Structure 1
Amino acid sequence: MLKKYAQRISRNRPAQREEVLWLLRHHAASLVQRYGVRTLALFGSVAQGRSRRESDVDLLVQFEPGRPTGMLEFVDLKGWLESVLGRPVDLVTPANLKPRIRERILREAIDVL
């Protein structure tokens, strides 16, 4: 039911910041237990309230130290987030942020976890 709701809202109009935050926080236990997420933050057009129907959801993730976080786990988490939100996700870690935009993203990011 929740997945259908997420897909319905995302296909018919731009993703709304509060809906995305609610969906992610609703799944906080899975993010922590299944994927070892330590922190998760929303940034970009959805966080700023400027998203369009075709906008993806930009998320900044940090994993628990010592947790296996190779490419397979990263891709699995990205796919899971896309199924929960019903739209494409751009998932990055702080280490992957380009230096010229890093400070702005960290300053504007909205904490989910």
Structure 2
Amino acid sequence: MKTLVEIKKILVKHKAEVQEKYKVSELGIFGSFVRGEQRKRSDIDILVEFGELPDVFLLIDLEDYLRKILKKKVDLVRKGAIRPELKEIISREVVYI
């Protein structure tokens, strides 16, 4: 099972490509992996913000790319689309790359 440190290393390695190809301005991890509560079947929650709003196909492509490099299902959440009741919780625990 991957750890937060391993996930961060992978994302750091691919950060420049993600920023350039997908126009990502911010990238972070939150959820069970940050809290150390992940299980074998847990997905990786990734917070993302874009320099320019992407179309749906680019979002799907980014999610697929992250799944491939992390070898785990990812849940991609756009920072500007966080539900108000979750915003404070996520902002407290997010680990930016």
The alignment's TM-score, normalised by the length of structure 1, stands at: 0.82
Deviating runs (4+, > 4 A) in structure 1? none
Q: Equivalents in 2 of 1:71, 1:49: separation in Å? A: 31
Q: Equivalents in 1 of 2:79, 2:25: separation in Å? A: 12
One of 56, 63, 88 as aligned partner of 1:78 = 63
> Counterpart in 2 of 1:105?
90
Mapping 1:38-77, distance limit 5 Å: 38-64=25-51, 67=52, 69-77=54-62
Q: Per the alignment, do residues 104 and 83 of structure 1 end up closer, same or farther by CA in structure 2, a change over 3 Å counting?
A: same
User: Where does structure 1 lack aligned partners over 5 or more consecutive residues?
Assistant: 1-12
Residue range with higher mean Cα deviation, 94-103 or 77-86? 94-103
Size of the alignment, in residue pairs? 97
One of 29, 35, 53 as aligned partner of 2:22 = 35
Asked if structure 1 preserves the Cα contact closer than 8 Å seen for 2:49 and 2:80, the reply is no
Structure whose alpha-carbon radius of gyration is higher: 1
How far does the alpha carbon of each residue in 1:11-44 deviate from its partner, in whole angstroms, 9 at most, with x for none?
A: xx2x200000000001011111111110001000
User: Where does structure 2 lack aligned partners over 5 or more consecutive residues?
Assistant: none
Q: Equivalents in 1 of 2:79, 2:15: separation in Å? A: 20
Q: Please state whether the residue corresponding to 1:40 is helix, strand or coil.
A: strand
Q: Please state whether the residue corresponding to 2:54 is helix, strand or coil.
A: coil
Q: Please state whether the residue corresponding to 2:11 is helix, strand or coil.
A: helix
Asked if structure 1 preserves the Cα contact closer than 8 Å seen for 2:32 and 2:38, the reply is yes
